[in-house]
Chain A
Amino acid sequence: MSTNTEAWGSRVGLVLAMAGNAVGFGNFLRFPVQAVQNGGGAFIIPYLVSFLLLGLPLLMIEWASGRFGGQFGHHSTPFIMGSMDKRWIWKYVGVFGIFSNIAIAAYYCYIESWTISYIFHSLFGTFNGMDQLEVAGFFSNYLDVTTSTTGIPYEALIFFVLCLALNTWILSRGLSGGVEKVAKIGVPMLIIFGIFLAYRGITLKAGHEGAINNGTEGLNFLWTPDYSSLANPKVWLAAAGQIFFTLSVGMGSIQCYASYLKKRDDIALNAMSAGWMNEFVEIVLGSAVIIPISIGYLGIDRVVELTGIGGLGLGFRTMPFLFEQWGPILSAIAGVSFFGLLFFAGITSSLAMGTPGMGFLMDEFNWSRSRAAFAFGAVILLLGLPTIFFFNEGVFDEYDYWAGTVSLVVFALLEAILFSWVFGLKKGWREITEGADIKIPLAYRFIIKYITPVVLILVFTGALIRPVNDDWSNLNPREWEFHNESIIGQLQHKGIGPNKTWFADAFYAEADGKIDSVFVLREKHYIRVTRVGPAGESVSRDYRFNPEKHKLSLGPDDEVRTGEVLYNGMIVNRIFYIDMARLLLVSLFLFISLLVFIAWRKRTLEGRTN
């Protein structure tokens, strides 16, 4: 018999926990950047279409699948999917629903730990008096785990362990005693923080507190529609991708939460409420914080440039400097609000990532809740360490790409096919509407069966063969060149540059330019190569080297061409870390598959057939 006796405390708690699961860093950091890069206000059109045709159907599928599997005592996707169809393959498809959560949690908890650290630094005034470059430099130092600018050795690691310990402790308290309580505090708190920051952002006045633009300039920039962008498939794929990440579908955590519901209890209204709550946080609050504030102080051109480095960069490299303009007290309050908001958004999601793996261990191996929570914490620590120590070598990005992006799309596509075509929509629709407190429009029968799987196939194909420069106009396969970030491009290591081997005795320049300087920063040695960019601007690239192991073959003012030797010596290239990260992820997937196999054998021997 399973030791799993978890239950939700209240319906509101469940809805808030589901909304908290969906609301994450992406609501505040990814959505506005995506909107800016994909047609401004016009982005909202494909975004809402994706929400209706992809997001809501997947929410219904996952809630219904979870509650269905829960009736047989399953609380993780391998056996939830196995209960929907007896063919063995679905149990292993379900492995994605544990794998993604664990792999994402490994780097997600790291970001979450940054927010704790930044709350601490906002409170203690670390950023006071720093200029913009110093604030950006602070973040770079923070990521370089061996350097400490604050006097706390291995600060990033310490905050990561603290954050993980907090997650583990809350998870060990169970659904109603831990996860639900955090959601009941966290979701309202992040909304309050969000409203405060949105108010400050929108009411910024040019000429006051150092602002150069009104806050409404930012809203204007974000919401002015460029309808011509709607003809570009890139914009539609970006919108569908954003819906995926924002709703936390394709992960397995929704199924896990819903599996603790009884057959007669509503899922339709709960799913709608949690889904729309996420949209409120994203569209209403998410659009009114970082873009209005950053455009208010930095201007549109600078913000467009900064969005190129992504929302995380904008949030952690820039926002503390902007808050400083409000004076020491208000900047501390704003810093605590902004990073507190991100912390609550993060922790309500990372807790959801812990529950599928724990549910699996409790269901199949009779582990106690505390033991399962501790195992989750230990695995995340183990998998998280490479993202901390080799962040700059690309390990973090590999986890994000394969586990946090590709796996979600693959799993969602397969679960949609299982639900609509294998389990059957007739039974599926009955599951969705059983106990429903609202009437779901019948059109969703058609959408779930035909539209959603087709949209998912398009999204997956788009990610698989994304063309260079996102130019979808030339459909000639012979002339098709893959984007560096397409799945095929990633597998081919496109964009890796001339340093293609794991180990080498020479390091080659990865871009043309002139050696600007050879300098030492915080006891680390760099070569800076500078070139003139397309708009006449200077573009610099710093290559780190170790003078004890490497011998420079070029000096200051020398011209350098891509592929030319910069220095000789014993070199471990970035590609080595990238491949090791991928190997680690594949090993994790295989390990979970093995556990599923052992659990299935155990069930068979015990005569448990469901």
Chain B
Amino acid sequence: MNASALILMIAVQLVVVVFTVYFFYRVLVSKPKPEPDSYIENDDVER
């Protein structure tokens, strides 16, 4: 691969991967809102 293609590809893909992982991680670790919330699977879980 030529340098400009390689730099552009790595830079763009790195940005995309970082944002994707960061936002999904935040979704996973965010505290649930007090009941009644929108999700039924956690209805019996004590907060």
Contact = CB atoms under 8 A, between A and B. Distances in A.
Interface of A: 7-15, 40-41, 44, 48, 176, 216, 219-220, 222-225, 260-262, 264-266, 269-270, 272-273, 276-277, 279-280, 283-284, 287, 435, 437-438
Nearest to B30: A437
Contacts of B32: 11
Contact of B23 (A44, A220, A273): A273
Contact of B13 (A224, A273, A284): A284
B41 A269 contact: no
A41 B1 CA distance: 12
B1 A225 contact: no
Contacts of A223: 1, 5-6, 8-9
A438 B13 contact: no
A20 to B, nearest CB: 14
B4 A273 contact: no
Contacts of A224: 2, 4-5
B contacts with A: majority SS: helix
A contacts with B: majority SS: helix
Contacts of A12: 27-28
A219 B26 CA distance: 31
B33 to A, nearest CB: 5
Given A269-B27, A276-B19, A41 B5 contact: yes
Contacts of A48: 12
**B interface, how many residues as a size bin?**
20 to 34
Interface of B: 1-2, 4-6, 8-9, 12-13, 16-17, 19-20, 23-24, 26-28, 30, 32-34, 36-42
Contact of B5 (A219, A262, A264, A269): A219
13 contacts: A9-B40, A10-B42, A11-B27, A11-B38, A12-B27, A176-B41, A216-B1, A222-B5, A223-B9, A266-B33, A273-B24, A276-B16, A276-B19
Contact of A283 (B1, B4, B12, B36): B12
B5 A279 contact: no
B9 A279 contact: no
A222 B5 CA distance: 8
Contacts of A11: 27, 30, 32, 38-39
A584 to B, nearest CB: 37
A220 B2 CA distance: 7
Nearest to A9: B41
A435 B31 CA distance: 12
List the 7 closest A-B pairs by CB distance, nearest first. A273-B23, A223-B5, A280-B20, A224-B5, A220-B1, A223-B9, A9-B41
A15 B19 CA distance: 15
Given A216-B1, A279-B20, A284-B13, A8 B33 contact: no
Nearest to A48: B12
Contact of A262 (B12, B13, B37, B41): B37
Nearest to B43: A7
A257 to B, nearest CB: 11
A280 B9 CA distance: 13
Contacts of B28: 12
